Amino acid sequence: MERYVVRNIERPDKTIIEDFSKLDVSTVYEAQGKIGLVSHELKTVRQGNMICGPAVTVTCFAGDNLMIHAAIEVCKPGDVLVITTIGESTTGMIGELIINALMKRGVQGVVSEAGIRDASRIRECGFPVWSRAIHSQGSTKSRGGWVNAPTVCGGASVNPGDLVMADDDGVVFVKKEDLKFALESSNRRMSKEEDTKARIERGELSLDFYSLRGILEKENVVYYESEEARASKK
């Protein structure tokens, strides 16, 4: 099987990226039809970070980070490095030195199916990372793989140049061909949420404005004025 590096990829327009940057992962995931969400096992290393940018994809063999080094060369400012592994891995496949190199290239952040190390120093520099584990075990650098090939990360498919969004709630991918639909749907959802916040502020109950009382009745949920009243029905 051919192993390769694609140097140049199509990236979303900067205006689109800026518009998505005003949103959050949960909103986009819900708005695009509850797809593209990465496994909860990939967690942020430092709370409070948010990234939004095109994916540069890397597929490595578990425990070997050769292709991550190859990917650094093709990254451009604003990119997000998405690392997947053939075989499950918690090895610390990136650490302080790779992070420094990525920052030098202007990379926004990393989403990795594998592990990281040098966690405290990564937190100190503020570089955004979402990973499966923090583990001191080091990597080899001897197995070829793929840079900018279609792949699957954390159970979600991602192609080079797809949009990556990540925040404290998780990571979501948006396909290049779905960007317009996902953005419009997300903005509609945000507008609806603003209306819902206003209704809550007015004292309205979610049971009413979501029309949930009928579902409670259908599910045979019975109301009692007190525990004593409920006990007397037994």
Query: Is 205 known as a binding-site position?
Result: no
- 4 within 8 A of 145, measured Cβ to Cβ: no
Query: Is 122 known as a binding-site position?
Result: no
| CA angle, 123 then 71 then 161, to 5° | 90
Query: Is 97 known as a binding-site position?
Result: yes
DSSP state letter for 94: E
Query: Is 30 known as a binding-site position?
Result: no
Query: Is 117 known as a binding-site position?
Result: yes
> What's the length of the chain?
234
Contacts of 171 (CB under 8 A, 6+ apart): 25, 37, 38, 42, 111, 130, 154, 156, 164, 165
The stretches of the chain forming alpha helices (DSSP H) are: 14-20, 25-31, 66-74, 96-104, 119-125, 179-201, 206-209, 213-218, 227-232
Query: Is 98 known as a binding-site position?
Result: yes
User: Under DSSP, is residue 89 helix (H, G, I), strand (E, B) or coil?
Assistant: coil
User: Under DSSP, is residue 188 helix (H, G, I), strand (E, B) or coil?
Assistant: helix
Question: Looking at beta carbons, which pairs linking 214-220 to residues 24 or more positions away fall under 8 Å?
Answer: none
DSSP for 3-24, please give it: -EE--------HHHHHHHTTS-
Q: Which residues are part of a known binding site?
A: 95-98, 117-118
Which residues contribute to the annotated binding site for Mg(2+)?
118
Residue ranges at the known binding site for substrate: 95-98, 117
